[in-house]
């Protein structure tokens, strides 16, 4: 489980590297951020990861001290986003294509061998969340991107077993079911009719 402090450190380190990242050609930017003993290593800096961490942080119930810590970082993020709007949008579009490919590949693997991949869903679905977050940041995404997202969503709706929120309960308020319906259920380990 990722804690507020874990996500906050990622956001802080990501903001420090963000300008260099946006102006580079790299999609995955190594972060030098250190984690605490027992914590998972930080993923590379990407806009998808950064937006997901921001959304998770905003979703959590926070103490006044945590609100102040996050409140100090968000204007810095917005400043870089505004200053490098064109580079931000270009990187968001590139990230959108990459995450869409990864999400499509996972669903393809799942439909071919549901018993081997259903348990990966709680992790893999973060890519679908990233797609939602990135779509609002990328200017002029080609129509085929939205078409493919729609087709993959239709496939997912056909097999998803509705249920409880699958991430940490304290994040649920930030990811309402009406928008993030794919976080409220699980994939079956068998499919009667393979799509």
Cα 49 to Cα 126: distance, rounded to the nearest angstrom: 9
Structure-block tokens of residue 178 = 């009406």
What is the pTM (predicted TM-score) of this model? 0.94
DSSP per residue over 78-118, as a string? HHHHHHTHHHHHHHHHHHHHHHHHHHHHHHHHHHH-HHHHG
Mind listing the pLDDT tens digit of every residue in the chain (195 residues)? Answer: 789 999 999 999 999 999 999 999 999 999 988 888 888 899 999 999 999 999 999 999 999 999 999 999 999 999 999 999 999 999 999 999 999 999 999 999 999 999 999 999 999 999 999 999 999 898 778 889 999 999 999 999 999 999 999 999 999 999 999 999 999 999 999 987 655
Give the three-class secondary structure for 122.
helix
User: CA 44 → CA 18, 25, 32, distances in Å?
Assistant: 12, 14, 9
Tell me what pLDDT residue 151 has.
Answer: 97
**CA-to-CA distance for 87 and 103, rounded, in angstroms?**
24
């Amino acid at each position: 489980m990722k804690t507020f402090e874990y996500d906050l450190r990622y956001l802080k380190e990501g903001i420090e590297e963000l300008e260099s990242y946006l102006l580079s050609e790299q999609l995955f930017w190594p972060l030098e951020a250190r984690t605490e003993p027992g914590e998972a290593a930080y993923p590379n800096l990407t806009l998808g990861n950064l937006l997901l961490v921001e959304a998770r942080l905003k979703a959590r119930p926070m103490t006044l001290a945590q609100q102040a810590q996050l409140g100090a970082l968000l204007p810095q993020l917005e400043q870089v986003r505004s200053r490098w709007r064109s580079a931000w949008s270009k990187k968001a579009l590139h990230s959108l294509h990459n995450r869409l490919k990864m999400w499509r590949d996972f669903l393809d693997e799942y439909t071919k061998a549901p018993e081997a991949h259903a348990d990966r869903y709680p992790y893999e679905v973060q890519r679908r969340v990233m797609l939602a977050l990135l779509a609002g940041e990328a200017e002029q995404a080609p129509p085929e991107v939205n078409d493919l997202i729609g087709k993959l969503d239709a496939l997912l709706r056909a097999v998803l077993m509705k249920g409880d929120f699958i991430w940490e309960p304290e994040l649920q308020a930030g990811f309402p079911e009406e928008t993030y319906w794919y976080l409220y259920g699980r994939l079956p380990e068998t499919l009667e009719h393979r799509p």
